[in-house]
Amino acid sequence: MKTEAQETVLLAPMEGLLDFVLRDILTRVGGIDRCVSEFIRITDQLLPERVFYRIVPEMHNGGRTLAGVPVRAQLLGSDPGCMAENAARLASLGPAGIDLNFGCPAAVVNRHGGGASLLREPETLTAVVGAVRRAVPAHMPVSAKMRLGYDDDARAVECALAIEAGGAGELVVHGRTKAQAYRPPAYWERIADIRAAVKIPVVANGEIWTVDDARRCREASGCNRLMIGRGAVRDPGLGLAIKADMANGSAPAVSWPTLLPLIAEFWHIVCSRLDARARAGRLKQWLNFLRRRFPEAEVAYQAIKTINDPVVVDEWLTRLLQANEGARLPTPSSPVAMPALV
């Protein structure tokens, strides 16, 4: 019989978008019970500790974001021995758990036998999960994320059972195949087939942009736990709204004035942790998502879309905050020891 946890809304890993900076900011808004990091690529060597810390700097803070939300570190690879060796080192650094990536659709990853390509080899799924499970302490959670398949979903249940057989304690299922990439729709009803076949908890993921989407996903998949990604980047209050709806209530929408200080804090972290050449691009990237939800973000995006000088962006943001009810740049929080990303 499945054991249901209290965690109901998870924040997805998204390479090049949902990194430790956005994890920090989005978990401050609330509504997120757990995060998963972007993948750490494992090939043929034991990675130094600094690589793990660079991707998951929350391990300097007990494996949690500054808001106290636990973060599982995600590994991607196909060699059981090498995955186990790296998982053991990673576990010693104190993440909130270890997640295994069997869903990445990127061509460069799949060409080298990682991510969703392993969904063509259920026996390898079992071997990788089993090796990692044996390599880390018994108290360390080991979970996995998969898609419905590679070219089609014919082996979806077989792959899920293979992951369970390896010893994973939880399975996140993205309701599309590798071939379907991120094209709508997500096939949540196929997640229900997987949930019926395995004994471990299943988390539904894919195409959850609104509370209504979340409600329909729960109904179609049978899952009470959901993982959200781009929807949360576009609407930082989505997790709060979903959890309120699950409790038969409602949550006030996160307003633009409420979000502005968090955008300023996001910019502060970006400026203190990222190379100068990447800073403006990161802010534009987030505003590009936010403008689909907030008309004010569209205005902001248009104002800085051609600006790349961090000093000019900083001056613009200060003026924007001052123009919104006298808001000001927030006093920077006391960040954990996060190394700069270059």
Catalytic center residues? 104
Residue 281 CB coordination number (10 Å): 11
Question: What whole-number distance in Å separates Cα of residue 225 and Cα of residue 239?
Answer: 11
Question: What whole-number distance in Å separates Cα of residue 34 and Cα of residue 65?
Answer: 10
Total H helices, total E strands in the chain: 14, 8
Helix (H) or strand (E) holding 205, with range, is strand 202-205
Separation of first and last alpha carbons in the chain: 47
CA pseudo-torsion sign 298, 300, 302, 304? negative
The answer to whether the CB of 148 falls within 8 A of the CB of 175 is yes
Among candidate residues 33, 50, 52, the one with its CA nearest the CA of residue 42: 52
Among candidate residues 122, 49, 121, 132, the one with its CA nearest the CA of residue 92: 49
Characterize the bridge pairing of strands 226-228 and 71-76: unpaired
Per-position DSSP letters for 147-201, written without gaps between them? ES-SSSSTTHHHHHHHHHHHT-SEEEEESS-TTTTT-S---HHHHHHHHHH-SS-
Radius of gyration of the chain (CA): 20
3-state secondary structure of 227: strand
Among candidate residues 62, 57, 48, the one with its CA nearest the CA of residue 24: 57
